[in-house]
Amino acid sequence: MTTIAVAGGTGGVGKTFVEMLEKQNKFRVVVLSRGAPKQNDASSTSTLYLQVDYDDISAMTKQLEQHNVHTVISAIGLISEETSRSQLNLIEAADKSKSTARFIPSEFSFIQTEDLLAVDPSIKFWLNAVELLKASSLIYTRVIPGFFMDYWGMPHVKTNLQPYSFGVDISSRKAAIPGDGNDVICMTYTYDMAQYIIKALDLDEWPEFSIVVGDQVTYNQILGMAEEILGEKFDVTYDSIEQIEKGNVTNPPMPSDLGYSEEELTELTALVSRLVVNGVFDLPEENRLNELFLK
């Protein structure tokens, strides 16, 4: 039975991968976590929750070998230099591990490229991981699902993501849309993404990009569907590209208790708006796992 390790598997996307892997009954699942695992974290008696020190490459290598980990799925949130270094160290440990052959880095968004650094400087975290993987002996693939569909289904759909509002906030009947609202956004439900990636674990070869697309829509289409289904018109604001470039954006209504200041929310809204109007969520047709597994 192949052993799959999920780094950052106690919440968010990582937890979704763990839940879906457990359902397969064909993998041994190891969850890697910086903190000591809580007793109630063990959702399956067969899943092992393992505390790791991401600063100690040698120790992680030994742990991967001790548990015969074949594939690592990283769901570490790359939000800082520290978390980026954690993933880079994990890649090094996996490369040194005699049992580990494959690695999925934490990406789970659009295709990060060097030319987008001016739009989002934090893209360097993803690019650094890819550079290290290319120099390693590991087989890897970058998972590209576009935007997560979950955000427009909360609180009515099952999800491990934290609530957040992007563009169209259905509960408040308000929308703050970047540009003209006609930029194409590819999006995928997290559980569908995990299901396709688990199917890809059985492939002999991996493409550099494993693209999963649940739907292709625009903000205007999301808005139109919401208004039609609810039978209500929304209060809509469109932010021009000039506004977006200056960071003068409109925040959609946000869930309470997010823990962000208004300034932080504006910065994130401006960032996502810049990405949307730059077309990064209009994903290529090539290497879509949807098509591969329909054959």
> For the segment 48-85, what is each residue's pLDDT rounded down to a tens digit?
999 999 999 999 999 999 999 999 999 999 999 999 99
Correct CATH for 2-140 of 3.30.360.10, 3.40.50.720, 3.30.70.270, 3.20.20.70:
3.40.50.720
pLDDT at 44: 46
Both structure tokens of 142: 């970058």
The rounded distance, in Å, linking the Cα atoms of 20 and 66 is 24
- Provide the residue ranges of all domains of the chain, joining segments of one domain with +: 2-140, 151-186+215-282
pLDDT at 260: 84
Question: Looking at the domain that runs over 151-186+215-282, which CATH code has it been given?
Answer: 3.90.25
The rounded distance, in Å, linking the Cα atoms of 34 and 256 is 28
- Neighbouring residues of 173: CB distance < 8 A, sequence distance ≥ 6: 230, 232, 233, 234, 235
Helix H or strand E encompassing 236: strand 235-239
Both structure tokens of 123: 């893209």
Summarised one tens digit per residue, pLDDT across range 98-127 is 999 999 999 999 999 999 999 999 999 999
Both structure tokens of 118: 């001016």
Contact 139, 103 (CB under 8 A): yes
pLDDT at 23: 93
Q: For residue 89, report the phi and psi dihedrals to the nearest 5 degrees.
A: -65, -40
pLDDT at 39: 53
Query: Could you check whether 2-140 and 151-186+215-282 share the same CATH topology?
Result: no
Q: Which residues of the chain have pLDDT under 50?
A: 40, 42, 44
Strands of the sheet with 168-169, listed across from one edge: 168-169, 174-178, 235-239
CA-wise closest residue to 142 among 56, 220, 78: 78
